[in-house]
């Protein structure tokens, strides 16, 4: 029997061989990045591969490390903090697209280290946009240099998503505030040197909810106590705890932005909060890659399990889902860079979609690997525990849906909206049948209705 003809790039099973398309790593996505952004992504990739040991990750997950200060200092030494911020404060003055690319690489290390990586982007956003020159020199610059560590304090025991109902209070007393209250789920409660704290400063009974709060820089010191460290399902080693403030004296110059202007700061900070959450969850490429390598080696019934449709369909689904999430994240990043007017909706979409896709991808990877994936012989169980948090923190999926639909309704119902109205294209556009209110009925049928 004559041998089958050989064609360049065609494998024995008739599939196109990878050698036909010489793809290395994820070079297929580089068209979305500028040369400078590509260089940064490769730099972060090397850092993740060479600077962070597996033993360090194991200690984090085993709660042997309370806060990963060593990790923070290594990042700062490489100039990987504050990617978007001015060079005069230690940043690189790069784009949001660059930050998402970096976050995707860091994300494979898990939620806790991912959070430590992006916290300067979140805290730094408030300091860079609303802070005074003195605040930037005193806090932002040493933070980006790795000399200080910061955290944000938002959530209170009485409510999570009801942010503007915060009860932590700061009462003006001469040249300072007296701060009293409590914040929970503070990542870095143990380990941070200063905190950005949202607190009530407007005590007028009829004050609008958006005019009640202020944002203060609060240094760790007398009256600032970490009274509880949470036992977490995942995201361990990040020093997540409850902060209690008892008669803390906070200088007036530590007010960020305007007095009672905390809502404006909060809305600005939610962009990095949510977009970095999305970018970090792209790091589940690590779990997908693990399942790919495993399914290429594991044999059952005489062949590699990747050759069974039940397995390779899950891999295909995960690849497609992750690419879709990646596309949405990079679109959101570009939207922020271009100051797109509907950026809050796009960022909310990226956060909700990517965190949910990450959960699916890790679950698919575990299903492909079967029982061994459920053990600690592989780190998938850690990835599963970590990833579950993505759909809760920085705004739940339900809150993201609330924002998404609200913004889109506003966009479509705006009188200035100028796209074609599909309802006019009906075969029988009978307005008498389009009665939505009592007023519509009266216009059609008269006052007798």
Positions marked active-site: 273
Q: Is residue 145 packed enough to be buried (19+ CB in 10 Å), middle (13-18) or exposed (0-12)?
A: middle
The helix/strand/coil state of 47 is helix
Neighbours of 157 (CB within 10 A): 12
Neighbours of 38 (CB within 10 A): 17
Q: What is the DSSP string of 262-316?
A: HHHHHHHHHHHHHHHHHHHHGGGHHHHHHHHHHHHH-EETTEEGGGSHHHHHHHH
First to last CA, the chain: 87
Place of tokens 């906070």: 250
Query: What does the block give as tokens for 218?
Result: 């609060």
The helix/strand/coil state of 156 is strand
Contact (Cβ atoms closer than 8 angstroms) between residue 354 and residue 325: yes
Phi, psi of 192 (to 5 degrees): -80, 150
Query: What does the block give as tokens for 339?
Result: 């100051």
The runs of H, that is alpha helices, within 78-110 are: 96-106
Alpha-carbon distance of 173 to 129, in angstroms, equals 26
Contact (Cβ atoms closer than 8 angstroms) between residue 279 and residue 83: no
Alpha-carbon distance of 186 to 220, in angstroms, equals 13
Alpha-carbon distance of 328 to 210, in angstroms, equals 30
The helix/strand/coil state of 54 is helix
Half-sphere exposure of 195 (CA within 13 A, CB side): 32
What single-letter DSSP state applies at residue 159? B
């Amino acid at each position: 029997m004559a041998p089958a003809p050989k064609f360049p790039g065609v494998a024995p099973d008739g599939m196109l061989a990878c050698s036909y398309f010489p793809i290395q790593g994820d070079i297929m996505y580089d068209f979305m990045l500028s040369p400078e952004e590509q260089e940064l992504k490769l730099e972060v990739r090397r850092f993740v591969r060479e600077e962070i040991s597996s033993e360090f990750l194991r200690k984090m997950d085993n709660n042997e490390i309370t806060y990963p200060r060593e990790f923070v200092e290594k990042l700062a030494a490489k100039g990987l903090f504050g990617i978007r911020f001015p060079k005069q404060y230690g940043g690189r003055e790069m784009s949001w697209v660059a930050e998402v690319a970096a976050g995707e690489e860091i994300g494979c290390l898990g939620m806790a280290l991912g959070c430590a990586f992006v916290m300067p982007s979140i805290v730094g956003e408030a300091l860079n946009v609303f802070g005074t020159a003195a605040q930037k020199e005193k806090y932002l610059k040493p933070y980006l240099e790795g000399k200080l560590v910061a955290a944000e304090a938002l959530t209170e025991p009485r409510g999570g998503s009801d942010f503007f109902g915060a009860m932590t209070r700061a009462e003006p007393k001469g040249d300072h505030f007296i701060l009293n209250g409590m914040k929970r789920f503070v990542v870095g409660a143990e380990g941070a040197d200063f905190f950005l704290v949202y607190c009530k400063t407007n005590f007028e009974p009829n004050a609008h909810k958006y005019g009640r709060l202020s944002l203060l820089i609060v240094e760790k010191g007398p009256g600032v106590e970490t009274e509880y460290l949470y036992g977490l399902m995942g995201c361990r080693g990040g020093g997540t705890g409850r902060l209690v403030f008892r008669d803390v004296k906070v200088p007036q110059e530590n007010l960020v932005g305007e007095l009672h202007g905390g809502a404006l700061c909060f809305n600005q900070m939610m962009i990095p909060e949510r977009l970095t959450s999305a970018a970090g969850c792209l790091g589940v490429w690590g779990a997908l890659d693990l399942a790919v390598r495993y399914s290429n080696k594991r044999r059952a019934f005489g062949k590699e399990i990747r050759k069974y449709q039940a397995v390779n369909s899950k891999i295909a689904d995960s690849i497609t889902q992750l690419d879709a999430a990646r596309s949405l994240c990079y679109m959101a990043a570009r939207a922020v860079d271009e100051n797109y007017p509907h950026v809050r909706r796009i960022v909310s979409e990226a956060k909700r979609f990517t965190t949910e896709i990450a959960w699916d991808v890790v679950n698919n990877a575990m299903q492909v690997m079967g029982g061994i994936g459920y053990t600690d012989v592989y780190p998938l169980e850690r990835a599963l525990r970590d990833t579950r948090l993505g759909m809760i923190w920085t705004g739940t999926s339900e809150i993201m849906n609330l924002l998404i639909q609200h913004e889109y309704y506003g966009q479509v119902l705006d009188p200035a909206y100028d796209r074609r109205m599909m309802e006019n294209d009906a075969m029988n556009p009978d307005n008498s049948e389009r009665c939505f209110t009592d007023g519509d009925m009266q216009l059609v049928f008269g006052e007798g209705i």
